[in-house]
Amino acid sequence: MASQKEQQLIEIIRVLSKGGFYSGQAIADTLDVSRAYVWKLIQQLQELGLGIESVTGRGYCLQFPVELLDEERLKQSLSLNELEVRLITDSTNEALKSEGFAHNKLVVAEYQSAGRGRRGRQWVSPIASNLYLSLGWKTQLPVQQLGGLSLVVGLAIVNALKQLGVKDVEVKWPNDIRYQGRKLGGILVELSGDMVGGLNVIIGVGLNVHMASVAADSIDQDWINLQELKPDISRQAVLINVIKQLQSHLEQFSSEGFESFQADWRQVDECFNKKVSILQGDDVINGVGAGVDTNGAFLLQTGKGIKPVYAGEVSLRFREGD
């Protein structure tokens, strides 16, 4: 349940989403609060990463269109056991982990204050700009058979985007969604539980939709928005498609394993036949991407043959030259 202040922030976003300029007084009248309080709310939204322009004598307007997620429409469109749509959370993975994990439970947020990527990296999460979601999945599969799970999630995302007209998206092993070398999104899979009661799997996904460049100042790599690839793309439609594809892929993964996805993986594998370096601690191994094995391990072609590399505390980077 959103707090009163969160409801006020949501209402300001809804007002500004209609387009054009709105004076502080007009917004204050809508919310039945003072102009000074509206100014504070606008400041908070700007601090949360929302692009709001302020012009003396005209008021406030959005720098780009914003679409808030519609919880009722999501409930009607998706087959879920539980759904939580939050304005603000620390991390959707943490919310699902700490506040009642459930199979086929989806947590989505408009803003994350402590979003995380792989290996604990910060995930930049401006408000009402991108997609931040976590899906709970209970499985009896042994942990040894889950090595290819993040790749299957990546495939699901690529297929969901293709259905919406966004083509040529690739996956960089093991968890980066990319377009022509620029990061479009990422995946964070976390496991808990045991083999007696089954494993609780939290599948976290972040996708850039229309993130303002000022909100992404701390990102240290090339990135791209879905809106650059398809200007009229809807966050709501992307979310619905991603979840439907994810549920379908997980069902196939449960019954047939990663091996059934290998041929499809080859079509989206950004690393295949590319010169790469594997970094693990102080060790660096150079080679050429040679696909993945039936468990999802990266296959590195080296001068001494093919070496399997397992996801964990390793980094993969593209390289030039010999």
What is the set of active-site residues? 118, 183, 317
Q: Is 112 annotated as a binding residue?
A: yes
- The CA distance from 34 to 149, in Å, is 51
How many residues are there in the chain? 322
CB contact at 8 A, 279 and 318: no
Question: What Rg, from alpha-carbon coordinates, does the chain have?
Answer: 21
Q: Please report which helix (H) or strand (E) contains residue 91, including its range.
A: none
Nearest Cα to 308, choosing from 298, 295, 317?
Answer: 298
Q: How many CB atoms lie within 10 A of CB 250?
A: 20
Contact 179, 224 (CB under 8 A): yes
Q: 287: closest CA among 276, 279, 298, 272?
A: 276
Given a contact cutoff of 8 angstroms between Cβ atoms, the answer to whether 316 and 277 are in contact is: yes
Whole-Å CA distances, 215 to 46, 115, 191, 283: 9, 14, 30, 34
**Has 91 been labeled as part of a binding site?**
yes
**Bridge partner residues of 3 (DSSP):** none
Residues 246 and 152: their CA atoms lie apart, in Å, by 8
8 Å CB contact between 241 and 158 = no
> Concatenated DSSP letters for 216-263?
GTT--S-B--HHHHSTT--HHHHHHHHHHHHHHHHHHHHHH-GGGGHH
Q: Is residue 260 marked as binding? A: no
Tell me which residue of 169, 164, 156 sits closest to 205, measured CA to CA: 156
| Residue 183 marked ligand-binding | yes
92 known ligand binder: yes
3-class DSSP state for residue 131? strand
Distance CA 271, CA 105 (A): 32
Residue list, annotated binding site: 91-93, 112, 116-118, 183
Residue list, annotated binding site for biotin: 91-93, 112, 116-118, 183
